[in-house]
Amino acid sequence: MVDLTKLNPEQLSMVKQQFDQELQHFSQSLQALNVARNKFRECKDDIASVSKLENQKQELLVPLSGSLYVKGHMKDTQKFMVDIGTGYYVEKSDLEATEFYDKKIAKLNQESVQIQNIIKEKSQSSMAIEGHIRQAAIKLHEEQANSAPQGAQPKAN
């Protein structure tokens, strides 16, 4: 770790900029995580509502395209095709599918906590650097104020 007190204000603000960039990157990641988590939660809710007993033989409209539908009915409300990534889908029972999404959500929660901790750390560092910048600026100001009269004296003589 570089000693922050030894850097000049310009270098400090560069360091701060870097921290802020990283901070932004992590915030975006956190947001993406939350979006993904919400999607999984919706899937879970959908499973819960579709697998209810009264939905057996439930009629519905099947979209053939965005503006074309045909009538259909639920043939099997206990089996779901779950997207597991890279275009592969796996047939799961309602319980298995719910378990699958629970696992995903738990994993995302874990990662979300990790990222939140990182963000907390980074923003504290960013704030500390800002403090250093202010101090460095004050010091520079004082030095200039002190050196100005001394520089003026020889001229007066």
Partner 1 sequence: MSNPAQDLTLRYTTSQQELEDLVVARQKLETQLQENKIVQDEFDTLKDDTKVYKLTGNVLLPVEQFEAKNNVSKRLEFISKEIQRCEENIKGSQAALEQMRAELMKAQQAAQA
Both tokens assigned to 57: 């033989």
Q: How far is the CB of 113 from partner 1 (least distance, A)?
A: 19
Contact window for partner 1 (CB under 8 A) among 2-10, 16-24, 51-59, 90-98 = 90-98
Q: Based on the shown chain and the rule CB under 8 A, indicate whether residue 67 belongs to the binding site for partner 1.
A: no
Q: Based on the shown chain and the rule CB under 8 A, indicate whether residue 88 belongs to the binding site for partner 1.
A: yes
Q: Based on the shown chain and the rule CB under 8 A, indicate whether residue 91 belongs to the binding site for partner 1.
A: yes
Q: Based on the shown chain and the rule CB under 8 A, indicate whether residue 89 belongs to the binding site for partner 1.
A: yes
How buried is residue 29: exposed, middle or buried, by Cβ count under 10 Å (0-12/13-18/19+)?
Answer: middle
Helix axes 94-156, 9-50, angle to 10 degrees: 170
Q: Based on the shown chain and the rule CB under 8 A, indicate whether residue 138 belongs to the binding site for partner 1.
A: no
For residues 67 and 29, give the distance between their C-alpha atoms in angstroms, rounded to a whole number: 35
Q: For residue 94, give the nearest of 55, 67, 126 by alpha carbon.
A: 55
Q: Based on the shown chain and the rule CB under 8 A, indicate whether residue 90 belongs to the binding site for partner 1.
A: yes
Q: Which is nearer to partner 1, 53 or 64 (CB)?
A: 64
Residues in contact with partner 1, counted by CB under 8 A, come to a total of 12
Cα of first residue to Cα of last residue in the chain, in angstroms, is 48
Q: Which residues bind partner 1 (CB under 8 A)?
A: 81, 83-92, 100
